[in-house]
Amino acid sequence: MEPEIIPAILVKRREDLVERISRVKGLVSSVHIDVMDNEFVPNKTVGPEDFSNLPAGVTYEFHWMVKNPEDWIARTKGKHLHVVHIEAVEDWAAIKAACQKSGGKLGIAISPATPLTKLEPVMNDVSRILVMSVTPGFDGQKYIQQVEGRISELKRRYPKIEIEVDGGISPATAGRARAAGADKLAAASAIYSQPDARKAIEEIRKAAGKQ
């Protein structure tokens, strides 16, 4: 089974967000939206005030690189996937409650330097693990090959939970991440820096299949 390729969008304005969604709509089933607050990471992007009436026809996953993610989730209604960073979790019960009230599902993200054991207390509540293969905060970063061991270990520990890899995914790295155990690959620059989004997505998918 081929891995799912998910375009990842890191922008500061709603207009740019809608434009990037429109460029891939009809080519993919899901879109990954990076949300940053300039506190958890040193960058600021679009936020919940920009998420009303987004284009239909794709499902959305919100990658919350923010402090107090429960406050942000509560402002983003709908059947979305809300991926929060384990490093930002202070009140897991509040995050679960906010997600349930908003109508969404929960995923958990982990940064490259964070021990995998940090995930253990929340694993019964999530449907996806987002493994960061770069340090969170900016797009265009180089893929960290050392995370492949982490991907494989998580796949061994939690075989029924989806694993998504985010950061530096391109035709050059997709096969490695897939071989390590990734079910889904989030790609930003490798798609949006190319003139033809369809071709870019197909090249990543093809490379991922050559594991």
> What pLDDT shows up at residue 200?
98
**CATH topology classification for 4-209:** TIM Barrel (3.20.20)
Q: Where are the chain's structural domains?
A: 4-209
Take residue 113 and report the two structure tokens written for it: 């330097």
> What pLDDT shows up at residue 1?
72
Residues of the chain with pLDDT under 70: 211
> What pLDDT shows up at residue 126?
98
Residues marked active site are found at 34, 166
> What pLDDT shows up at residue 211?
55
Q: With DSSP H G I counted as helix, E B as strand and the rest as coil, what are the percentages for the chain, rounded to 5?
A: 35, 25, 40
Neighbours of 121 (CB within 10 A): 11
Q: Model-level pTM?
A: 0.96
> What pLDDT shows up at residue 73?
98
> What pLDDT shows up at residue 209?
87
